[in-house]
Amino acid sequence: MYKYLIQGLLLGLAYVAPIGMQNLYVINTAMKGNKLKTYQVALTTIFFDITLALACFFGIGLLVKNIPILKSIILLVGSVLVIYIGIGLIRACSEVKNDMEISDSIVKIIITCFIVTWLNPQALIDGSLLLGGYHASVPVQMAKYFILGFCSSSFIWFMILATIILILRDKLNNTIIKGINIICGVILIFFGAKLGHSFIQLMIKG
């Protein structure tokens, strides 16, 4: 039991830690928002990340892979929305003040967290191949412990990330904060462009 719980935890940390759209959104919120908003974003991201992991564990990514039209729709919508979020971050930098706080409603937070987590078919497919492979190799009775460990890593990672940024942000001046926001925005636009490129390639092949 503990072997598979720890195995899932370590794999989950290795999977979620690299900088991606979710991490960037949590970091950006922690840099500009208050504690409540930061943890709202972190917990909402955790929720969608765990639901994505469960979906991948049970093979929904294979459904996306095998239905081209569904993949195309997710790629196109994901590309547009992620680029929009990235541009929004860069534009907001001109308005950043030392005492600025994010005033996004919980509905907007939920929608944005959903976009940066679910509207990436490649993440669905890669996650399904990764977790699907482990699901097939882990003993049936141990699968629940493995996926529990994997999902726990999401909670641990995003809560620690949000807390660390909240602690460190007061030591950063306004110029550095603006720079980080611009970098986050540019990277998000890059992710969105990659989704758009994948959509175009899919259309050409189709």
45-66 pLDDT tens trace: 999 999 999 988 887 766 766 7
| Segments making up each domain of the chain, as ranges | 2-9+18-205
pLDDT at res. 103: 59
pLDDT at res. 96: 46
pLDDT digits (tens, 9 = 90+) for 92-101: 665 444 444 4
Q: Is the dihedral of CA 167, 172, 174, 177 positive or negative?
A: negative
Q: Taking residues 108-130, report their average pLDDT.
A: 81
Type of residue numbered 15: Y
List, in order, residues 6 or more apart from 191 with CB less than 8 Å away: 20, 21, 82, 86, 120
Residue-averaged pLDDT of the chain: 82
Q: Taking residues 64-74, report their average pLDDT.
A: 78
What's the CA gap between 43 and 184, in Å, rounded? Answer: 20
How many H-runs (helices) and E-runs (strands) does the chain carry? 9, 0
The highest-confidence range among 97-106, 152-161, 164-173, 177-186, by mean pLDDT, is: 152-161
Location of structure tokens 């569904």: 70
pLDDT at res. 76: 86
Q: Taking residues 65-81, report their average pLDDT.
A: 80
Which of 41-45, 148-152, 163-167, 192-196 is predicted with the least confidence, judged by mean pLDDT? 192-196
The highest-confidence range among 18-22, 24-28, 126-130, 181-185, by mean pLDDT, is: 24-28
Q: Please tell me the pTM assigned to this model.
A: 0.76
Greater model confidence, 125 or 6: 6
Q: Taking residues 172-196, report their average pLDDT.
A: 79
Task: Examine the pLDDT at 115 and tell me if it is beyond 80.
Answer: yes
User: Which two structure tokens, joined as six digits, stand for 118?
Assistant: 């679910």
Task: Examine the pLDDT at 161 and tell me if it is beyond 50.
Answer: yes
Task: Using a pLDDT cut of 70, give the percent of the chain over it.
Answer: 87
What's the CA gap between 137 and 134, in Å, rounded? Answer: 5
